């Protein structure tokens, strides 16, 4: 027993020691994994095939198994969708046991783009959303982020004047009108092909858009609240009800570290920003008029090293903390959607076994959490990410994926070209842990 205890302690210390240096995707902040009891995983070297004997042990509800996918925006050949690679990703996810995939809608068109140009950009998603996802029984969490208006600094959303729009309601500026118009076109096009809609992503900690622009700032909480409320009302009894009635509307993934101090503004934690959204005019008015809050879930990205800046050192503490704030806001039973959580094996001292252990441990911790009414607290956990992305090597290598798809020569959108077939060359250890956690279909 003493020996077994020492072995467990060694595993925990070794794994956690390697988790303190993960790089946050899309920004240069540090992310990593959780302190806690590690579920041992089998030792298996990376392999070019997804086949292996299923690992016995505890599973988590199949409905919790989410994965951030490779966006169809990047899967094109001569301007047309690469359906071969999209088929490959769909089959690969299905074999893995994925039930939810998060897809980010990207429209490379600025304010001046015509409706025809916008529709052509949206159409790049048709094959995956209308063919691949339903065929492979994948529910789609559609992320409508700032990429809906690519080529425009997201900080434009902060600039007035804000006026009442006849279609969308109060406090809209130019950026918001363009964004909302495109989002509604997307929803009308795909309708019930969308399993849930995530409104914005980490808008409480923005990247730097211009060399001389701010970094780690936030959009006003009132703006995020207004956009979310507009979509909720439109889907539930409004102009979009035929397309999205009953489709869950998720308040986009909050960055756990929160907002840095800006000129004339103090730093704001994630839960204080969440409180500002709930206390906004848009949310409180919706609650008064509809008798409920205008969301179906709160998105959260509990990367533990980010939370350590706030003194939060365990996943349990992180989830207790946001639940306590929701309780004080009068929304104690609101489900959490973990729309990002991952581990970069290409950074610092991190490694594949650490990624596998973190994945297994975290999914089990989150699956065990319950609300006061006995329902699961966490609806879905979206592992970040399906595949590695550039750069492939060096101190900033982005090896977050459960699989690696070879990069090939060429000039492609996103900074790298991938093998046209989309066939992975490596399935990491974490692949098998993920697969073995998922209950059989």
Task: Look up tokens 């439109």; give the residue.
Answer: 234
Mean pLDDT per 10-residue run, the chain (441 residues)? 37 37 38 32 49 60 96 90 97 96 95 94 97 98 97 95 96 98 98 97 97 97 98 98 98 97 95 98 98 98 92 96 98 98 93 95 94 97 96 92 93 84 96 84 43
In the chain, % helix, strand, coil (3-state, to 5) comes to: 40, 20, 45
pLDDT at 17: 35
Return d(Cα 401, Cα 343) in angstroms, integer. 8
Which numeric CATH code is attached to 2-437?
3.20.20.80
Q: Where are the domains of the chain?
A: 2-437
pLDDT at 173: 98
Helical spans, DSSP H, in 239-385: 241-244, 270-278, 281-290, 304-308, 315-328, 352-367
How many CB atoms lie under 10 A from the CB of residue 396?
12
Give this prediction's pTM: 0.90
Nearest alpha carbon to residue 224 among 191, 175, 287, 181: 175
pLDDT at 34: 31
């Amino acid at each position: 027993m003493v020996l077994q205890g020492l072995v467990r302690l060694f595993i925990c210390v070794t794994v956690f020691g390697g988790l303190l240096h993960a790089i946050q995707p899309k920004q240069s902040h540090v992310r990593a994994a959780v302190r806690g009891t590690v579920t041992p995983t089998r030792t298996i070297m990376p392999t070019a095939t997804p086949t292996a004997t299923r690992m016995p042990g505890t599973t988590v509800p199949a409905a919790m198994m989410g994965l951030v996918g490779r966006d169809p925006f990047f899967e094109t050949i001569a301007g047309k969708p690469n359906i071969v690679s999209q088929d490959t990703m769909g089959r690969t996810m299905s074999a893995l046991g994925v039930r939810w995939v998060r897809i980010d809608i990207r429209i490379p068109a600025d304010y001046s783009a015509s409706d025809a140009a916008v529709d052509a950009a949206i159409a790049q998603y048709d094959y995956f959303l209308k063919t691949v996802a339903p065929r492979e029984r994948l529910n789609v969490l559609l992320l409508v982020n700032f990429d809906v208006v690519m080529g425009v600094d997201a900080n434009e959303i902060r600039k007035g004047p804000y006026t009442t729009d006849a279609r969308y309601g109060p406090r809209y500026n130019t950026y918001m009108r363009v964004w909302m118009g495109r989002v509604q076109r997307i929803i009308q096009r795909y309708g019930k092909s969308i399993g849930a809609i995530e409104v914005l992503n980490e808008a409480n900690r923005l990247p730097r858009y211009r060399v001389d622009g701010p970094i780690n700032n936030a959009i006003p909480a009132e703006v995020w609240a207004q956009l979310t409320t507009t979509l909720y009302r439109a889907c539930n009894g409004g102009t979009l009800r035929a397309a999205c009635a009953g489709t869950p509307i998720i308040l986009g993934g909050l960055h756990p570290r929160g907002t840095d101090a800006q000129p004339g503004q103090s730093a704001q934690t994630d839960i204080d920003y969440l409180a500002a959204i709930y206390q906004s005019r848009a949310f409180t008015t919706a609650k008064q008029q509809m008798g409920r809050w205008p969301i179906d879930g709160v998105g959260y990205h509990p990367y533990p090293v980010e939370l350590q800046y706030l003194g939060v050192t365990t996943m349990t503490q992180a989830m207790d903390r946001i639940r306590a704030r929701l309780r004080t806001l009068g929304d104690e039973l609101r489900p959490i959607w973990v729309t990002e959580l991952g581990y970069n094996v290409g950074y610092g001292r991190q490694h594949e076994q650490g990624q596998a252990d973190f994945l297994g441990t975290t999914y089990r911790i989150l699956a065990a959490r319950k609300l006061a009414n006995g329902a699961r607290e966490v609806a879905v956990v979206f592992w970040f990410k399906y595949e590695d992305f550039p750069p492939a090597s060096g101190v900033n290598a982005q090896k977050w994926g459960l699989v690696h798809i070879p990069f090939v020569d060429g000039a492609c959108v996103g900074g790298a070209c991938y093998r046209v077939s989309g066939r992975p060359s490596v399935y990491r250890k974490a692949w098998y842990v993920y697969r073995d956690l998922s209950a059989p279909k």
